[in-house]
Every structure is written in structure tokens, then in C-alpha cells.
Structure 1
Amino acid sequence: MRHRYFSVAIFCGLSVPAILFAQAPTSSSLDDTLQLNEVVVRGYATNRRLLETPASIGLLTRRDLNQRFGTPTLIPAMNTLPGVRADERSPGSYRLAIRGSAIRSPFGVRNVKTYWNELPLTDAGGNTPLNALDVRALGRIEVIKGPSGSLYGAGTGGTILFSGLAVPAGKTNVELSALGGSYGLYGNGIAVQTGKNNSAIALNYNHLQSDGYRDQSAMVRDNLSLIGSFSVSPKRTISVLGLYSDLYYQTPGGLNQAQYAANPRASRPATPTLPSSAAQHASIYQKIGYLGLSHEYRWNDRIQNTTVIYGSNTDFANPFITNFEKRTDQGMGGRTITQFRLPNGPLPTTFTIGGELLRTFTVDRNFGNRGGIADTIQTDEELTARQTTIFAQAETELPAHFRLTAGLSRNDVRYDFTRFPVRSAGALPATTLTRNFTPVWLPRVALLRTFGQNLAAFVSISTGYSAPSSQEVRPSAGGFNATLNAELGTNYEAGLRGSTFNSRLRFDIAVYQFYLRQTIVRRSDATGAEFFVNAGRTDQRGLEAQLSYDFIQPSSTSLFSLLRIWHSMTLTNYRFRDYQQGTTDLSNNRVPGVAPTTLVTGLDAETKLGIYAHATFQFLDQFPLVDANTVMSDPTRLLQATVGFRRMLGQHWTLDVYASGDNLLNQTYSLGYDLNAIGNRFYNAAPARNGIGGVRVSLRW
């Protein structure tokens, strides 16, 4: 397998994300990309050029999030990054995997830490409400792939850093948008941004709704966000982030192969013992409010501190086929990070120290479900989750263009669970169970060497730790799993990135070997309710590469401002080790849900007249759907394209009109499989060929 990885790497070349390298912005392009030796990333608190960052980091800019694809979701843009796989099993139902971590996520986002400008978005229970964000309010995403616990705490998959839209300095910008498409898709939005001498404020409201391709798959979402930054003195900056999301989406449920072949648009039908998804009005009601404050203080050009605090509240209801769950989550926490720079010594060094404290209190009750109406109470439970992380990192510049990064963190996770009696006759008194996971120290060491301005190589060793999430220790049917153990792993990685031919050809490659112990996997019972178990060890080998080539360079005489082809490739070989399921030995089987080969190719074109076009093709090879590897997925071939016209009209107005097509090859495929599903209900059909059209009008003064 190693020979396969390296031979393909040599053949395909080494690449850096195409999304990083646009030409100088014109009136028809989005001013959101820079050259390789200019772009700065925030990963691991280095604030250095991507070329000088010793980690695998993918970057999505405003062009990738809001222009390349017409569909206003995060899914297609995230899938252009090697090592990242995003699913939307039905509109609004997101699932995200970084380097295969979706094996433990039947729905939602787990095993991934997320932040918005240092504000934690992932709660103390390890869950991230990614579907509460609207892509139209985002300006940039950094994805750190692999264990990053030395600075960001628990998690073995990776870390995502979000940023909002850039606010124009000294100007005000108002943008109105509307879109419509197949299967009842409709959306609109308004964005207001204003920048003054000492402040920047952005207010975004976005609405999206869809009837859905499948029966019982409608969705309605409203998002409101407020971002403000205020320089109250030359040394002090205070920022605020307010988010509110009101999301409703129906859950059609998985189909078996015969049902999927007969009618992929159907929702899960009734059985002799269980009603259908439609009869039970299976759906999700989710309202999330989030308020965060950030304080940045710069003592001088060598010492600065950023401290953040936040509070959140989630109201969640899930009429399911067998029960009706109602849950309220109240979260709070904070993070502080201080940097000390010593630039003038024989070995210039930057020290980073800090800590993070998260707490989430959950009240969770299960009822019977009588046609979408909560019936008799079944369980009444409370769960308190706590996460504490302290960390330190040193980054030292060594002779001969070497840079050494060493980090260490201590992670502590605790759950307190209480079940209250729901019947008076013969009821047991309320009892509290506590699960303390043994605190762990997570080191990371990385060494980088630059070769001139256009080439760098790095190696790293990092450790990962991921305690079970609150949705795993307390599954949907209720109860508390006190025997589930935390995942622990060690990752060995090497990478090479750079550019040549006057920066027209860019490349990025990473190879890794991740040894994971106590791997958490999903199981489900006869009703479809999930639970989780540890599955011994897994060995996870992978190769991630990107290549991009610009056919033209900036020129006053050229018709094109951008003409680029790019390619993304992910190769994996994830296998179980020492995995016994009853009397069956599953050691050496492939880990389900992880495609051995993923290829994504794109063509981007923008003209100075304002016409732009983007085409994207992705291929996923078949992969196992069960631990026994007896059922395989179908290969996926997906073609998407967008054409549009974007141009300034006069001094103040900008018009952007576009049309987009999805699944242009009209393939029947599942965008998100239910792994290890009882009754072989693996399949969640994605929409057939469909189209979207939209318009954006902005005024700047």
C-alpha cells in the first residue's frame, strides 16, 4: 500500500489548494485569495504563511463558499478538500468527517473541534451544531487535519476555524440576495457591513427552505448573525459574536437496497412492528442562541493575550419512529491564550500558553411518539459535561531555515448523569452516576524546513484523545453508558508544499499513519436507535494531495483574470486491528464509511468582462457499509457547474447573477450512508439532476 501511495504521489505531483491562489482581484472576482508566499493561516496560533506552517491545513475562501457552487450549504465546498468528507443525508442533516472520523457520527458532527475567532463552537459534550451556520455569512474556513489536541483539546479528527465576511475599511456595504431552485428550494438574505476608524460591524440574516427530493425531507432555516470588533484603545480590542439559528428539517430515514432501487425518493416505510417515518412525522426542531465576547490586549509588540467567554442555549426536539426526544442544552465556557515573542535571541522563539474550560448542562426527556405528538414520558434525565484543557507551545527558528514547534496539553473530561423516576409506584430514587476519564497529556512535535520562498517540507508526531461525546454516553433511547472508553491515538505525518513555474503550478501533499486505540463505532438496535461500543485498534494510513495550474498570469491585455485547473486526491487504507465481534474476528477488515479513493477535479474561469464559470467533478470509490465488509457502497460520480456574471455598475453598485447545476450526470447515489444499519437500511438518496438560480445586488459607499 505504501508503494501505491508514493507512486501515485510522484505521478500526480504535489499540490497546494487551488483555492488559495487567485490572480489580482478585478471588478468581476471576489477579493478573497492570495499567493502561496502571502497567505496567512491561524492554525496552531502561528499566524504565519501557509508555506511556513508545519501541519496539513485546508483553506476555503469566499469564492469557494459562495461562488463555486450554487447550493447554499457547506457540503460541496468542504468536499473539495482532501481528507474531508461532508454528507447531507437530507436537507439540513449534516455529517462531517475529517480523515474518516464519521464512523462514530450517525448524524451531526463529533470528534471535531470548531472555533470562531478563538470562540469555541463545540460544546463540552463534544458536539458541533454545524447546521446552525449559514454558508452565506462565512468568509473563510481553515481545516486542520489530524489530531490537534496539543492546542485545541480533545479530538482525533481535526479542528475547524471559522471567520465571517471581511468588513470593508472605512466603507458601508449592503447586499441583498435571492435564490430559487428545484424541489421547492428558495432562499433570500441581507448582509450589512460597515467599517469605521475604530470599529467593524457585520449583520447577516439568511433564510432557506426546501420541499426536499425525498418524501418527508422538507427543511426551513433562518439564521441571524452579528459580528462586531471595536478598537477601544491602541492596545485593546473587544469583539462580539452573536448567532441565532431556527432550523426545522424532516428525517426520511434510511432505505434498504430493494426500496432504494424501487423508489429512491421514498421515505422509510412502515414494517409489521414499526410505523413509517411519515406517519410519525420524524423530524428535527432545533433553535440555537449563542453569544460570545472576546478581549484582545497587546502589552507591546512581543506580548499579547486573547480571552473569550461565551454562553449558548439549545432547544431540541426529535420526533422519531419509536420515541419523541425533547432536550435543552445550556452551555458556557471560555478560552485564554497568551503569546510571548522573543525575536532577537540566537534562536527566535514564540511561546504560547493558555487554557480552555467548557461546561454544558443538558435536560433530556423521552416520550412516546403518537403521530408526531409527545405522549407518555419514558425517561427523565440530566447530564452535565465538563472539559478542561491547559496547553503550552514553543515555536523556535533554528539555523539552516529549520523551524521547530513543540506543544503539550492536559485534557480532562467528566460527565455527571442523573436519572429521575417517571412513575411513582415502585420507583427507585434518583441516582447520580459520574464518569471521570483519566486526564491525559497530549504532546506534538513538528519540524519544518523551507527551501527558498516557494518550497517547504515538514514532519510531525502528534497525539489525539477523544472522550465519548454526550450523545454517545447518553444515546437517543436514554440511559448512560458508563463503560465506553475514550479514543487515544498517535499520528505520524510528513508533508511537502510549494510552487514553481512562476507560481503558476502549486502543489501540496501529506502522508500519514495514525494508530488509534479504543476506536468508537456505532451500533443500532432493531428499532433503529443507535448505541456505541469500543472496537479495539484501527490503523489509518492516508495520502492527501492537491495540484493546481494557472494557464495565465495577470496581464492587462488578457481576457481572463483567472483560468485554472485543479485536482484533489485522497487515498486511504483504514483497517481494524484486534477487533472481535462476538465469535467473529474482524481484524484486518476495512473501516466502514471511508472511501479508499476520492478524486475531485475542477476548472475555474473568470473574465474581466465579469463572466465566470466553475465546473467540479468528484469520484468516490466503493467502500464497506458494515464492519464485516459484506456490503459495499456504489461508486459515486458527481458533476456540478456554475456560470454567472459579476460586475461593478458605476462606483457603488455590484450585480452578481448566476445559474448552477447539481448532479448533472443524473446519477442515483446516496449522499451519506447509515453505517452498520439494522435491516440493511443504508441508503439516503441524494437529489437527481437539479438546478439553482440566484442574484446578489450590493451597494457600497
Structure 2
Amino acid sequence: MNRYLLIFIALIWINLLEAQSISGKIRDSHTGEAMGNVEIENIQSGRIVYSDSLGLFSLDGINYPLEVRFSYLGYKDRIRLLRSPKASLDVFMEREIGQLSEVVLRSTNIPRQLIRTPAAVSLISKNDLERSDNINLVQNFNYIPGVYVNQGALNTNKINIRGIGSRAQYSTNRIKAYINGIPLTTGEGELTLDDFDPEFLDGIEIYKGPVSSVFGAGLGGAINLYTERKTDNLRSVNGDFTYGSFNTRKTRMNITYVKDSLDLSVNYNKIDSEGYRENGDYDRISMTANAGLLNKKGNYWSFLYSYTNLKAFIPSSLNENDFLNDPQKAAFTWGQAAGYESYSKNLVGLSYEHKFSQNLRNQTSVFFSSRDGYEPRPFDILDDDRSSVGIRTKFNLETSLFRKPAQFSFGSEAMLEWYDIANFENLYEESDIPESVQGELLSQNHQSRNYINMFGQVNMDLSSKLLLELGFNFNTTAYSLEDEFAEDGVDQSGDYRFDPVFSPRLGLSYEVSSGKNFYTSVSHGFSTPTVAETLTPEGLINTDLQTEKGLNYEVGFKGNWLNNRLYTEVSLYSIQINDLLVARRVGEDQYVGLNAGKADRTGIEFTSSYVSSFTEDFQLNLFLNSNLNFYEYDRFVDRGEDYSGNEIPGTPQYMISPGIELNFQELSAHLNYQAFGEMALNDANTEYTDPYQLLNLKLNYDLHLSRGLDLGLNFGINNILDEHYAASVVTNAVGFGGAAPRYYYPGNPRNYFGGLSLKYML
């Protein structure tokens, strides 16, 4: 009798299990709006239901563990693995790139859709980052109109936006950058983005032209990186390995844990490469951790930590003969000195978003960064140590002004930075083997920098079609110098201050018809000299340098066509720069900065993307980006030479980049073409690079192996045409002792890569 009772209970229990159901709500991840008619598929049974107009859905007759796929045209598919019953399921859907115009920009003081923002802003989505190899983040920027990256090596990248920063020698300056709102640009204006793993980023927003009213000292623009904020309950482990030409290897591990209001992700990666050129070995370890916590009142805490340890040898630039005939060699003195760059870096940031009411909220971030660097060079050895602390706070208020809806934003950002720098003799010529040998101290300085930005912005709907945007920034920057080297008999110790800078901005956006907007803007920007620009060859500080200032005038159009499948954007701009900061070469690989006149930068930029789904399994995406530049000195006289009217060196005259992406079931193919025009190599315009073109291919194959286990395979070819080109240049190179000037960094020849990844959802 007991046996039959147990069987009866078991049958009832099995029946109850089979009768289980789950319900939930589906929303847009950017706007939070409910999404109706989303396809919800029980992968095990193949049963399909759809969400209603409120985004609600229900699945009956399910067994656990359960895998559910959520699909909607124009959005990325989402797969959820559920191992136990849930009271309710919240699902957030992310838009595909074809919906560019509707993306809400996260970096602006007042969030707004891209199509209604009166500024030139380019987006690099997570999907864009997957179109190229996963080794070098900044290579993806060269597909953006108005942006050009000189890539001398994995650790020698120089970004310029609309030509600003093109005359910097070996690093990026005049551009502000943030990750999750935490500043990456140093207090003295330098920026390194090579340390971040592109596979850990969710997207990038690039603001082109002066952006002082929003971000402070960024005459060229601003780059904002974002890590992914997970919203669905998830526990996963990823492991990736990539191998490429020149014995390049990348190993990556990622752990993600999301439960209720807590989201945590930790990413580790290691990259090793022998490099295409001699003295080109590269070794980097980096780790990034990101965590978020949403409390019961809807306020959000977020934490970011990033660590990088790098040692990268430097082959340096070549003269024209070596560039054409022996591009793999290193510059002789750099090879003899075995010159390299090494550093360890830490970045810590803590942010808090607080909602005082439905209409008033605040976001405050505090941050700390440090860098300990050592760089042996043929002409000296640089030992530097930098650390900084800062805070950024921003209030947003929604109200009305003159009976019109208006949004206000106001706040401030402050940073205090300490910089210790020492230069030593390099006695590499006394060594029997290629190596650097530290000699006597040549100079030693301690510099403290601080800046304060106060900013404000108001957005106002003057009518249902016309948007007004007004903004300002007020900046004060000062530094104190302690000269700790008495042997030279010169003491430059003292307190120095740049003149305060007020930077206004005016923007208008007008909707001529649904999904089609014209805009115009005028904005002011500035950049302060970097430490490297203030140093003379003797290690002294040039205290006479002033901030570089510019005005940007711009008109543009943003529009959707063909039922939102085609997005186009065109902008025309002119940037007038005064107190132009330029680098004068005074020795082999040595430069000094000076304010040298006025420059005009005028250009046209075009962006377009088209998405078409022929069937549920087959999708075609097309892209076309391009720009045409007219950059010249309006007034520039140096050492009696008048360069007024000459082309500004360091930026290609044009860029054209069409691309195609095919998605068929689990397979995707990406083919990208780039054509770059010639660029001037010196202020006299006596030397130019040749135009060049690149063709790159990447194939991805994603396979669902079993419940909770996914496999990814990829293979790619860079520079399919095996083009011989200059990937980076040194402007105004000068030959000393009868040697030819070394302008060129050779680009990599045709090269290959491939990798695999495993993802396990717990």
C-alpha cells in the first residue's frame, strides 16, 4: 500500500513540475521602455510565445534547468539559463548598430538621443569591436571619420581628432578620456588607451572637436569608454586564447556574477609578441574589475579597478631608405641601447548615483591613479613617477523655463597630481652587448599640478522641433615646481599658473521631418602644455608656454531613411586655433614645445550604416565612413622661416572606409577596407607619405555546445593586400651628423590571427 502511495505522490509531483510556468517583463536596455511582440523561445521544447504591449510574457509547461531565447528585429538575441524557479524575470534587450540614431548618449551632461544631439559624436559598439582582432583597442578608431591613429607599435599609439594632436611626437595629448566616468587623461594632458582590453568594453563614444563645456581641457575632443552593466541574473566564466603572426599570443579570463541588485565582472588578460621589427618585444599583463550595487531606493554604487604592467621594447622610426628596403630593422641607436618602455599603473574609481526626486539626481565619483615608469632611451634614461586624486560631481534637474520643458546640469571636476621626473645619462655605448646602462643624474624635478573645472549646461525645447543647448566651462590650472638638481646651478623652483579659461558652447538641433535633423554649434576649447612639452633638452622647465585655445564652428545633418534601416550623418566644421603648441626638434629624438601662431582646421565628415534582414537567419550590414581635411597654418613663423599657408603635417588628407558584414545563423563575416591619403611630413611641406590602402577580414563562428556551454571560433587576415605603408610618422624629423631624417614607422605586412573562446554559464 505504501509503495502505491509513493508512486501516486511521485506522479503528482512530476505533473506539477511539468505544469510549472514563468513570467516576466521585457524592456529596452537604454530607455527602459516596455517592448511588445518580442519572440520568446523555450530552446528545449521549441515552443514560442510573444510579449504583449506592456512587455509582459508567460511560459507554461517548463522544466528546469531552462534555456530561453529572446529575439526582436533590430536587437541582439538574448539567451537566459535558469536553473531554478523565479518569481519574475526582467529581461533587457540591446539594440543592434542599425538603430544608431536612437542610441541615448551616456557621456553628455544631459542624456539625449544621438540624432537630436547638436554635436559630432561617433559610436563604436561592442559589435564593432568584434570586427577586428582583439589585440589592439585603438586600431578600431581608424574607421571613425575625423579620427586618425598613428600606430608605431602596440605601445606607440598617437591619436588625433580632426588633426588636433597630429604634431605630438610619441603619445596622445589634447584629448580627454574617461572610463565609466572616471578620468583617464592625466592632469597634464597625456593619455594612454592601449592598456584596456577591447573585449571587456561595452562601447565607446567619441566627441569630435572642442568639448571644454562638458569635459574640460580637451581641444581635440573626448573619448568615453564603457564597460557592460549586467542587468540579468547571470554567473559565467569565459576563457579565450588568440594566436597571431610575429608569435603574438593573448590569453584572457573573465568571471561575471550577477544576482539581484549586485553585478560583478573581473577581466584578466596577458599579451606577448615578438613584433614585426627588431627590438620589438612586447609583454603586457592587465586586469580590470567592475562592480555595481543597486539599493532599494534606486540609487546605484559602482566601483572600478584597473591594473597594468608593461614592458615593451622600442624599435623607433626609420629613414626613407631603411623604410623602403629594410623595414624590419630597428633604428641603430635604439637597437644598440635596447631601448624600451616599462611601467606599472593602477586606477581606482568609486561612483554613486543618487535620486533626490523624480526630477533631481546627482552622480559623484572619486578616483585615484598611479604610474611608476622607467624608459631607457639612447639620449638619456627617464625615471618618472606619477600619482593623482580627484573628484567629479554632477547634478541634473528637469524643470521648465519660460513655460518650456528644460533640463539643467551643473557640477565640477577637480584633480591634484604629483609628478616626479629624473633624467640620467645612458652609457649604452660603453657596453659590449645591446643594453642600456644608467649613468649620472642629469636633472631631477618634482611637479604638483592641480586643475578645477566648473561646468553648466541647459537643454531647452524652444518648440516641438527646435532644441537649444547652452553650456560653459571655467577652468583654472596651476602647478608648483621643485628643482631638486642643484649641480646645474639653475633653480626653477616656484609656483606657476596658467591664465583662467572660460569656454562657452551653443548648439541648436532642428527636426525638419520625422527622423531627420539639422544642427549647428559653436564651441570653445583649450589644452594646457604637457610636462614633456615644457621640458628643454637640459631638463629645465619652459615656464613661458601658454594654453592652446580654439573655436569650433560646425553645421551638420543626421537622418534615418528606408524605415530606419539606413542612417546617415554629415558634418562640416572649421576650428580656429590660437597660441598653437608645436614641437621643435633640437636633437636626435629630442624636442621642445613653443607657442607658434595660428592654425585653421576645416573638414567634412560622413557616416552611414545600413542594415537589412533577408530572413530570420540572414542579415546584411553595410557601412561607409569618410572624411576630407583642409588643415593649414594661418600664421606660423619659426626661426625666420614663414610656414603660413602650408599644410599642417601628421594627418592624411582623406579617409574612405566602406565595410560589409554578413550574418548567417552562427557564422559572421566582416570585410573592412580603408584608404588613406598622403600626409605632409614637415612644416615646409617638402616631404609627403604615399597614399595607402588596407583590407582586413575576420570570420566568427559561435556554436551552442550544450546547456550553458558556448564555443566561439575566429580567424582573420590583416592587410590582405600586403601594402607597404607608414603606420605612423614623426613630423619634422631632422637628420644630425649627416644622417637622413627618420620620419617613418613601418606598418605590419600581411598577417594572420585566430582564436577560440569558451563560455560556461553556471
Verify same fold: TM over 0.5.
yes
Kindly indicate whether residue 299 of structure 2 is the aligned counterpart of residue 236 of structure 1. yes
- 2:405 maps to which residue? 348
Kindly indicate whether residue 746 of structure 2 is the aligned counterpart of residue 690 of structure 1. no
* Counterpart selection for 2:259 from 184, 196, 200: 196
Q: How do residues 95-110 of structure 1 correspond to structure 2 at under 5 angstroms? A: 95-110=158-173
- 2:703 maps to which residue? 647
- 1:117 maps to which residue? 180
Structure 2 CA distance for aligned equivalents of residues 654 and 31 of structure 1 = 20
Q: How do residues 166-315 of structure 1 correspond to structure 2 at under 5 angstroms? A: 166-269=229-332, 276-315=333-372
Kindly indicate whether residue 604 of structure 2 is the aligned counterpart of residue 543 of structure 1. yes
User: What SS does the aligned partner of 1:213 have?
Assistant: coil
Kindly indicate whether residue 663 of structure 2 is the aligned counterpart of residue 600 of structure 1. no
Q: Do the aligned partners of 2:475 and 2:500 also contact (CA within 8 Å) in 1?
A: yes
What is the deviation of 1:135? 1.7
What is the deviation of 1:465? 1.1
Structure 2 CA distance for aligned equivalents of residues 331 and 36 of structure 1 = 36
What is the deviation of 1:408? 1.0
How much identity, in percent, do the aligned residues show? 25
User: For residues 584 and 674 of structure 1, do their structure 2 counterparts lie closer, same or farther at Cα, with a shift above 3 Å needed?
Assistant: same
What is the deviation of 1:104? 3.6
- 1:10 maps to which residue? none
- 2:511 maps to which residue? 450
What is the deviation of 1:344? 9.3
Structure 1 CA distance for aligned equivalents of residues 352 and 364 of structure 2 = 5
Give the residue type in structure 1 aligned to 2:473: S
Structure 1 CA distance for aligned equivalents of residues 210 and 555 of structure 2 = 14
- 2:74 maps to which residue? 23
- 2:641 maps to which residue? 584
User: For residues 507 and 218 of structure 1, do their structure 2 counterparts lie closer, same or farther at Cα, with a shift above 3 Å needed?
Assistant: same
Kindly indicate whether residue 137 of structure 2 is the aligned counterpart of residue 74 of structure 1. yes
Superposed CA deviations along residues 263-320 of structure 1, whole A, max 9, x for unmatched, are 0111102xxxxxx211111110011011111111111110001111111110011100
Question: Which ranges of 4 or more aligned residues in structure 1 deviate by more than 4 Å?
Answer: none
What is the deviation of 1:221? 0.7
Structure 2 CA distance for aligned equivalents of residues 600 and 54 of structure 1 = 24
- 2:723 maps to which residue? 667
Q: Do the aligned partners of 1:323 and 1:368 also contact (CA within 8 Å) in 2?
A: yes
User: For residues 288 and 513 of structure 1, do their structure 2 counterparts lie closer, same or farther at Cα, with a shift above 3 Å needed?
Assistant: same
Unaligned runs of 5+ in 2: 1-71, 80-92, 429-435, 736-740
Superposed CA deviations along residues 108-155 of structure 1, whole A, max 9, x for unmatched, are 221000112221111211112222222222121100111110121112
Kindly indicate whether residue 463 of structure 2 is the aligned counterpart of residue 374 of structure 1. no
Question: Taking CA–CA contacts closer than 8 Å with sequence separation of 6 or more, which of the two structures ends up with the larger relative contact order?
Answer: 1
Structure 2 CA distance for aligned equivalents of residues 133 and 433 of structure 1 = 37
User: What SS does the aligned partner of 1:278 have?
Assistant: helix
- 1:553 maps to which residue? 613
What is the deviation of 1:554? 6.5
Give the residue type in structure 2 aligned to 1:513: S
Q: Do the aligned partners of 1:68 and 1:614 also contact (CA within 8 Å) in 2?
A: yes
Paired residue total? 665
Kindly indicate whether residue 218 of structure 2 is the aligned counterpart of residue 161 of structure 1. no
- 1:491 maps to which residue? 552
Kindly indicate whether residue 685 of structure 2 is the aligned counterpart of residue 629 of structure 1. yes
Structure 1 CA distance for aligned equivalents of residues 200 and 423 of structure 2 = 35
- 1:321 maps to which residue? 378
- 2:417 maps to which residue? 360
- 2:152 maps to which residue? 89
Unaligned runs of 5+ in 1: 1-20, 270-275
Structure with greater Cα Rg: 2
Superposed CA deviations along residues 193-251 of structure 1, whole A, max 9, x for unmatched, are 12121111110001111100011111111110111111233142211110000111111
- 2:34 maps to which residue? none
Q: Do the aligned partners of 2:110 and 2:408 also contact (CA within 8 Å) in 1?
A: no
Structure 2 CA distance for aligned equivalents of residues 344 and 382 of structure 1 = 49
Superposed CA deviations along residues 406-446 of structure 1, whole A, max 9, x for unmatched, are 001101111222222254xxx64754133311101100000
Kindly indicate whether residue 125 of structure 2 is the aligned counterpart of residue 61 of structure 1. yes
* Counterpart selection for 2:585 from 511, 524, 534: 524
Q: Do the aligned partners of 1:204 and 1:226 also contact (CA within 8 Å) in 2?
A: yes
User: For residues 153 and 553 of structure 1, do their structure 2 counterparts lie closer, same or farther at Cα, with a shift above 3 Å needed?
Assistant: same
Structure 2 CA distance for aligned equivalents of residues 318 and 96 of structure 1 = 21
Give the residue type in structure 2 aligned to 1:56: A
What is the deviation of 1:519? 1.1
* Counterpart selection for 2:494 from 433, 447, 450: 433
User: What SS does the aligned partner of 1:365 have?
Assistant: strand
Q: Do the aligned partners of 2:426 and 2:439 also contact (CA within 8 Å) in 1?
A: yes
- 2:734 maps to which residue? 678
Q: Do the aligned partners of 1:572 and 1:597 also contact (CA within 8 Å) in 2?
A: yes
User: For residues 503 and 235 of structure 1, do their structure 2 counterparts lie closer, same or farther at Cα, with a shift above 3 Å needed?
Assistant: closer
User: What SS does the aligned partner of 1:77 have?
Assistant: helix
Give the residue type in structure 1 aligned to 2:701: F
Structure 1 CA distance for aligned equivalents of residues 630 and 349 of structure 2 = 40
Q: Do the aligned partners of 1:72 and 1:136 also contact (CA within 8 Å) in 2?
A: no
- 1:8 maps to which residue? none
User: For residues 414 and 491 of structure 1, do their structure 2 counterparts lie closer, same or farther at Cα, with a shift above 3 Å needed?
Assistant: same
Q: Do the aligned partners of 1:147 and 1:464 also contact (CA within 8 Å) in 2?
A: yes
What is the deviation of 1:474? 3.0
Kindly indicate whether residue 46 of structure 2 is the aligned counterpart of residue 46 of structure 1. no
Q: Do the aligned partners of 2:74 and 2:95 also contact (CA within 8 Å) in 1?
A: no
Give the residue type in structure 2 aligned to 1:527: E
Structure 2 CA distance for aligned equivalents of residues 583 and 525 of structure 1 = 16
Kindly indicate whether residue 761 of structure 2 is the aligned counterpart of residue 700 of structure 1. yes
Superposed CA deviations along residues 61-83 of structure 1, whole A, max 9, x for unmatched, are 11111x20124212331111101
* Counterpart selection for 1:462 from 509, 523, 527: 523
